[in-house]
Structure formats: C-alpha cells, structure tokens
C-alpha cells in the first residue's frame, strides 16, 4: 500500500473527508425522497451496513420537503443529489442537508452555479463536483475528442473556477466513468491536479457479481496507490450491498478498523471431511445476524486447518465427525459435527464479550490432545498428498523432459 496522498479536509456533517481522515463509505437511497418513512428506513439500513454518508435525490419540491423531515432524524449526514435545476440545490440547503452533489455536465449556467456556491459557503455546506464521463458538457467532448481523462479533469477545473469567484473552497471531486481503465486514469490525473479530497467510484458498474468486480477493480487500485478519501460502489442492487461492499473493501485493505464479520474458508479439497461451502454459508448467515467484528475461519479438515488459519480470531475445522474449535490457532474445544455452527456462534459471542485470553483460559484442557489424535488418524488414512499433487508434479516433469528432448532432436 502506498502512503495516502494528503488532501484538504472538509466536513460533511460530523464526518471528516480528506486531510488524513479515515476513508469514508457512501451510498445512495433508491426510495422516493418524498416518502420520508421509507427513505429513513433505508438510511438506517445503510448506516447499519457501514455507510458513513448517505445521498438522496432532490429532483422536485416534494423531495426537498422530504429532506427537511429526513435530515433531523438521520443517523448519518445527508447529501442532496442535484442535476438540472439549481433551485433544487437551494431548496436542499434550506432543508438543512450536510452536503450537495452537483453534476457540472447537467447544471451549466455560471450564474446559477455561483449562486449555489455562495449559499453553500454562507451555510458551511460542502459541495461535491460530480463529473461523469457520460454527461460532460458537449464542448468538452468536442475539445478533447470524447470522454478522456483530460476532459473529465477539465470539467472539474472549470467548476472550481466558478467556485473560486465566490470564495467557496469546501469541495470534493469525483471524475467517474463506467470504463474502469478510464476511471483509474482520470483519478490519477485529478490527484495530480487538485488538492481537494477525491470521491472514488465506477459509475453504473452494473448488477452483481460483475458490477462488484468492476467497482472493486477501480476503487481498490486507486486506494492501493494512496488515492481517494471517500468511496461509493454504484451497483444495480440493493444499496445496502453498496455500503457493505465499501466497508468490507476498506477493512480488507486495512484502511478501516473491522466493524463486521470477516469470514474466511478453505476452498475445499480431497481431504475435506464436511461440506465446506454449506457450513461456511450457514456460519456466515448466523454470524452476520450478530454483527460481530471478528475474523472467523471455517476449514474443511483438521490436518492443516487450524495451522493455516491460525491468524483468525476464531475458527472451526472438521475431522472424524467432529468439529475442532480453535482461537488464534489453539484448539479450545471439540464438538459433534452437527453442532459446529452453533458452537462457533456461541464462542464468537463469548470471544467478543470476554476477549481472547479469557476464552483461551476457559478452553477444554483435553481438546488439544483429542484434536491431535484425530489429526494423526486422518493423516494415516489419507496420507500427506491427498490431492495427488506430487504425482502431478512428476507428470509435469516427465512431460517437460520429453518436450525438451524432442526439441533438441
């Protein structure tokens, strides 16, 4: 991971963005903003899934009025999304939103842009310049020969110039595209061009699983390079999936402290004693309901399982119709196979409540010996090379040797 690039810091409500603050997660409601109860229900679900900031559309008077009722009851800062009508931005400010998103390709009149910026300045409300490759000003398409990284960055630069005229500087910038390489190049250029915080995203990434892959490819690449201050997955899916994906990505990259479950599992092999996929799914479903901030491992066998997953907070490995429960690689309990998931969940709750040392001390003193006996028995039955990997190695060597011999004749 590269060192994070230092940017200015702005405040979206009580959430700092840029300036070394933790990378924040954003998502957007898909409800009608005028439907206050439905929108608040979704906002609360997004916050529970890991969203730090939530955006709501403000495209009509009823939506602006909805925002006035939503903002005071929201658990996270609310950003109003405005495209074509500058009066909607002004109405959103009156509603008390914590931020605005303006698309410079859709809101083009300088006098209106400056009016919004001046109002936001006076209220201390930041604005995101939300450039999108699919909705640039027509002049930029002509000037740059299409939606190029330079065109996207120039769009943001022109908007910043309007803001500068009214001394408004609480700005973050996005230069999104649905094409991942274009998005990456545009953000790299933006990071060299501006010191404002950058909002990362691959726009219109699409449905799962492809959209998740595209968004991760773009966002993770930039974060690994130290670029980006806040992120949003734009998926054709329940927005809760966006918030969850964003949070999990940041946790995986070590950019946010783990807040929820991180379940790891072996891919299964010839040594597996259980249906690893089935047990992993059951464990994930049961543990996600508890929202425990730990890493849990589900391993298919006891021969290598506890050792391979020794860094996990908690795990279970199957062997000889029993489950071997381990904490940080140390066996603490052996349970019947049909009780594996229940035992895992119970231990996870106690681990979070009491801590690692206490749970290790409470472990069954005979568990390690039972586990080693099972391990040795399975090792004797299956051998060290259950997947016949050494046989395959020998075949490869034989094949390559024959090929080399043939080529030298």
Instruction: Report helix angle 239-252 to 36-49, nearest 10.
Output: 20
| Domain ranges, ordered by start, for the chain | 10-252, 262-382
Confidence (pLDDT) at 288: 83
* Sequence-ordered list of residues with C-beta below 8 angstroms from that of 404, at least 6 positions apart, any chain: none
What distance in Å separates the CA atoms of residue 335 and residue 322, rounded to the nearest whole number? 6
Confidence (pLDDT) at 396: 60
* 240 within 8 A of 211, measured Cβ to Cβ: no
What distance in Å separates the CA atoms of residue 62 and residue 81, rounded to the nearest whole number? 14
The DSSP H or E segment spanning 374 is helix 367-382
Residue ranges in the chain modelled with pLDDT below 50 = none
By three-state DSSP, how is residue 377 classified? helix
What distance in Å separates the CA atoms of residue 309 and residue 291, rounded to the nearest whole number? 21
* 177 within 8 A of 200, measured Cβ to Cβ: no
What distance in Å separates the CA atoms of residue 227 and residue 6, rounded to the nearest whole number? 9
* 267 within 8 A of 329, measured Cβ to Cβ: no
What CATH number has the domain spanning 262-382? 3.30.413.10
Indicate the DSSP class of residue 366: T
In 207-346 the beta strands, taken as DSSP E runs, fall at: 230-232, 262-265, 295-299, 314-319, 322-327, 330-336
What is the pTM for the complete model shown?
0.78
What distance in Å separates the CA atoms of residue 347 and residue 364, rounded to the nearest whole number? 13
Confidence (pLDDT) at 268: 60
* 44 within 8 A of 108, measured Cβ to Cβ: no
Q: What backbone torsions phi and psi does residue 317 show, to the nearest 5 degrees? A: -130, 145
* 149 within 8 A of 177, measured Cβ to Cβ: no
* 178 within 8 A of 210, measured Cβ to Cβ: no
For every residue of 321-346, DSSP letters joined together read TEEEEEETTEEEEEEEGGGHHHHHHH
10-252 and 262-382 agree in CATH topology: no
What CATH number has the domain spanning 10-252? 3.20.20.20
Other C-beta atoms closer than 10 Å to the C-beta of 340 total 22
* 97 within 8 A of 89, measured Cβ to Cβ: no
Q: Which of 164, 381, 162 is nearest to 270 (CA)?
A: 381
């Amino acid at each position: 991971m590269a060192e994070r690039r230092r940017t200015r810091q702005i405040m979206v409500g009580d959430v700092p963005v840029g300036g070394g603050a933790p990378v924040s997660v954003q998502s957007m409601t898909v409800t009608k903003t005028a439907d206050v109860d439905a929108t608040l229900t979704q906002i609360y679900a997004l916050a529970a899934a890991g969203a730090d900031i939530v955006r709501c559309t403000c495209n009509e008077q009823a939506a602006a009025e909805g925002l006035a009722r939503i903002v005071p009851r929201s658990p996270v800062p609310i950003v109003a999304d405005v495209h074509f009508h500058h009066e909607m931005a002004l109405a959103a400010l009156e509603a008390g939103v914590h931020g605005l998103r303006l698309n410079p390709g859709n809101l083009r009149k300088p006098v209106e842009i400056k009016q919004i910026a001046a109002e936001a300045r006076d209220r201390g409300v930041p604005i995101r310049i939300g450039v999108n490759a699919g909705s640039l000003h027509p002049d930029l398409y002509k000037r740059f020969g299409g939606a190029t990284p330079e065109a996207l960055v120039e769009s943001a630069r022109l908007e910043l110039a309007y803001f500068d005229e009214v001394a408004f500087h609480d700005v973050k910038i996005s230069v999104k595209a649905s094409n991942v390489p274009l998005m990456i190049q545009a953000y790299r250029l933006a990071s060299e061009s501006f010191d404002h915080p950058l909002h990362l995203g691959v726009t219109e990434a699409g449905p799962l699983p492809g959209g998740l892959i595209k968004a991760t490819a773009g966002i993770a690449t930039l974060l690994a390079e130290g670029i980006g201050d806040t992120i949003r997955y734009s998926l054709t899916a329940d927005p809760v999936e966006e918030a969850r994906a964003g949070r999990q990505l940041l946790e995986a990259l070590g950019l946010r402290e783990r807040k929820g479950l991180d379940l790891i599992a072996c891919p299964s092999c010839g040594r597996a004693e259980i249906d690893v996929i089935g047990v992993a799914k059951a464990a994930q479903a049961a543990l996600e309901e508890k929202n425990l901030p730990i890493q849990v491992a589900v391993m298919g066998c006891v021969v290598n399982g506890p050792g391979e997953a020794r860094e996990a907070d908690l795990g279970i490995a199957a062997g000889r119709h029993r489950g071997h429960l381990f904490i940080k690689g140390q066996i603490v309990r052996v349970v019947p196979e049909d009780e594996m998931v229940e035992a895992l969940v119970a231990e996870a709750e106690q681990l979070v409540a009491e801590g690692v040392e206490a749970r290790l001390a409470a472990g069954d003193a005979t568990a390690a010996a039972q586990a080693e006996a099972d391990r040795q028995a399975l090792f004797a039955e299956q051998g060290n090379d259950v997947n016949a990997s050494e046989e395959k190695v020998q075949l490869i060597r034989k094949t390559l040797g024959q090929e080399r011999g043939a080529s030298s004749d």
